[in-house]
């Protein structure tokens, strides 16, 4: 969301750097289709976001000529073996298209690139923005855009993005501060680091420094470094913490195989990030905490724990307030839940907000001297 255009109006907020790309649901029929193409879930999600199907994503395909009309089905059970002709496992019909590569091309010649199916109809009509204005525009979900605005970066600030890949919020923050100041972006996975660096370079931003670093190791009591991790106490004016989470708000989400035991481990892991973030934040500085998940244990209960554990941390309104109030939990007041915001898919919120977003949570704190 980096193009200056006609402002988007959502509830009480006005965002001047937002272009809304709306999707539209439709009913699909396989009438006229000569066969079914079965794809994996990663490919299916890409199709729902507007992509065509590339050869590596195809798992099952009957004998058909190129140019045949086909229906596209996602393998929900994840049991379709590569090269199956007539898979009868659990699937969901997400699109129709025209076959561009045959079984021989994909499974015999082992073609690794190129469009396998050109999509002509999809369950959610959404235009593909691949390759369009890539230096002027970054495709993000609405709550992610709101999060960067909540950080409220100012020219000359020193800002830390603790878990930054793929870089949407990182680059947006840099743009909001006019590329003046310092944004330190941390990511521990090398492949994600490379993607992050590519997105920074694509947008020609100079104030961002990217480091391959586990953010739980970004703080050291003995450090006096301002340039690279580990950092010491009170180094940053603003910190964005979007830690690893159970991601139950992500869309599209065809299946979710998380077990309750696994979900329950996230809050304690997230706390490792929070505790160090508070130490690295200057007095008078801002901490924005966000997740793309729904459980209160990772959201409102985390906010309550921060307020309980760190008297210097004061909850403030995570403006612009485009989402819904939070959930009332022990340790939060009625006023507190109005300062945080939740985005819930397909909500019936009575406002002008386009609430058909991913599930998301945002909270904002200021560090005071006590």
Tell me which residues are annotated as active site.
292
What is the spatial distance between Cα 99 and Cα 38, in angstroms, rounded to a whole number? 12
The encoded tokens of residue 163 equal: 């878990």
Q: What is the rounded CA–CA span in Å between residue 192 and residue 11? A: 34
β partners of residue 73: 38, 93
Residues with Cβ within 8 Å of 96's Cβ and at least 6 positions away in sequence, in order, are 28, 30, 33, 69, 70, 71, 72, 119, 120, 121, 122
Calculate the alpha carbon distances from 367 to 19, 99, 234 in Å.
Answer: 33, 57, 10
d(CA 251, CA 358): 6
Residue 81 has what DSSP assignment? P
Q: SS3 breakdown of the chain: % helix, strand, coil, rounded to 5?
A: 25, 25, 50
Return d(Cα 30, Cα 96) in angstroms, integer.
7
Widest pairwise Cα distance in the chain: 73
Give the torsion sign (CA, 256, 260, 261, 262): positive
* Tokens representing residue 299 in the block: 């959201």
Q: How far apart are CA 129 and CA 126, in angstroms?
A: 9
332 with 311: CB under 8 angstroms? no
Which H or E run contains 211? strand 208-212
């Amino acid at each position: 969301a980096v193009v200056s255009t006609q402002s988007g109006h959502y509830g009480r907020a006005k965002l001047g750097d937002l272009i809304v790309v709306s999707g539209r649901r439709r009913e699909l029929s396989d009438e006229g289709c000569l066969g079914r193409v079965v794809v994996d879930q990663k490919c299916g999600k890409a199709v729902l976001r507007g992509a065509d199907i590339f050869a590596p994503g195809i798992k099952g395909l009957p004998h058909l000529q190129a140019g045949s009309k086909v229906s596209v089905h996602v393998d929900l059970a994840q049991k379709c073996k590569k090269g199956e002709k007539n898979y009868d496992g659990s699937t969901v019909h997400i699109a129709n298209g025209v076959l561009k590569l045959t079984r021989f091309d994909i499974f015999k010649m082992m073609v690794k690139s190129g469009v396998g199916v050109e999509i002509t109809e999809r369950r959610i009509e959404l235009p593909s923005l691949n390759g369009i204005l890539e230096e002027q525009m970054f495709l993000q979900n609405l709550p992610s855009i709101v999060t960067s605005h909540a950080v409220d970066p100012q020219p000359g600030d020193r800002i830390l993005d603790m878990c930054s890949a793929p870089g949407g919020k990182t680059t947006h923050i840099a743009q909001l501060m006019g590329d003046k100041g310092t944004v330190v972006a941390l990511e521990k996975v090398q492949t994600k680091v490379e993607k992050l660096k590519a997105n920074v370079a694509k947008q020609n931003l100079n104030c961002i420094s990217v480091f391959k670093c586990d953010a739980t190791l970004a703080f050291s009591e003995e450090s006096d470094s301002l340039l690279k991790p580990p950092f010491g106490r009170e180094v940053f004016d603003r910190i964005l913490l979007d830690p690893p989470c159970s991601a139950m708000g992500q869309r599209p989400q065809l299946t979710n195989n998380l077990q309750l035991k696994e979900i329950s481990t996230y809050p304690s892991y997230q706390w490792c990030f929070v505790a160090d973030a508070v130490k690295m934040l200057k007095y008078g500085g801002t901490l924005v905490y966000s997740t793309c998940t729904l459980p209160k244990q990772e959201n409102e209960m985390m906010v309550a724990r921060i307020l309980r554990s760190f008297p210097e941390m004061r909850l403030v309104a995570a403006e612009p307030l485009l989402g819904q109030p939070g959930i009332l939990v022990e340790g939060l007041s009625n006023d507190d839940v109005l300062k945080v915001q939740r985005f819930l898919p397909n909500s019936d919120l009575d406002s002008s907000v386009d609430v058909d977003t991913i599930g998301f949570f945002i909270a904002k704190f200021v560090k005071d001297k006590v």
